[in-house]
Chains A and B, each alone.
Chain A
């Protein structure tokens, strides 16, 4: 059975939705308090949405120094699949696991709506079972979702096939319509939209399932180490 660690900082609020969603695939979700330092029992790690440490200073600025964030970085460096959703994406950028930063939305309004997302690559743990060009309807719920990075970083992302998802109709001013990116090896993905909120008919969309399914398949049943090895082989 695939064990998914779901990181909980003080102020995280989407952890139960994420656990519910991954368990609907037969995986188990375990809440991981921010003081934990060992994730070796996990096959995959999700940093869910919310307001870690109240978003004080900047979203993710304090969470970056939490003990569990170091453990997530180590898990990622060992090739384990890591997914940051919304505030989790912000934490991963602050922690340096993903490049760039999330700024206030262009329109200075909190956005809570469902958007169209285009799958731009299948070379990430999140999109490996999706189809390139596929459009998914998934909710966003954020004030600081305006993805920003240097020109050099943007070139690296494009040239490295690391833009995972783009907005069909850019809601927040993100550079190059970016909704989600991955690291060089594709095992760490961050996105502002919430796939767990599009994981059941009752929620209005099941389009998030293909993403979560891909992520869990990357985790594999044999543990993160084996999954990571498979993953790096798959990417060549």
Chain B
């Protein structure tokens, strides 16, 4: 018997994990302090996080983002100190 094949697409999803506002970011501030010595001026707000690239099978782009969000919430980020955003990327 022929199985009905659902159309599933794999979306490229970028998950960015960043420290929540108000959480000290010693790596970010250390990098920022090093910038003047390298001749970079006018660059502030340096923060360090993590980026994850995923291929997510889903029916729609919104579903792919929702699945990645769930993964980020449960594993990729620690909600005590980190926020995560998921976006579909080309």
Contact = CB atoms under 8 A, between A and B. Distances in A.
The answer on A and B forming one complex is yes
Interface of A: 57-58, 61, 65, 93-94, 99-101, 103-108, 146, 148-150, 173
B76 A101 contact: no
Nearest to B80: A101
15 contacts: A57-B76, A99-B80, A100-B80, A101-B78, A101-B80, A101-B81, A103-B81, A104-B26, A105-B26, A106-B26, A107-B26, A146-B24, A146-B26, A148-B80, A150-B80
Contacts of B76: 57
A100 B27 CA distance: 20
Given A57-B75, A61-B75, A93 B26 contact: no
Contacts, number: 36
B30 interface: yes
A108 B30 CA distance: 9
Given A57-B75, A61-B75, A173 B26 contact: yes
Given A106-B26, A108-B27, A58 B78 contact: yes
Nearest to B52: A57
A106 B78 contact: no
B38 interface: no
Contact of A93 (B23, B24, B27, B80): B80
A108 B78 contact: no
A161 to B, nearest CB: 21
A96 to B, nearest CB: 9
Given A101-B80, A101-B81, A108-B26, 13 more contacts: A61-B75, A61-B78, A93-B80, A101-B78, A103-B26, A104-B26, A104-B27, A105-B26, A106-B26, A146-B26, A149-B80, A173-B24, A173-B26
Contacts of B23: 103, 148
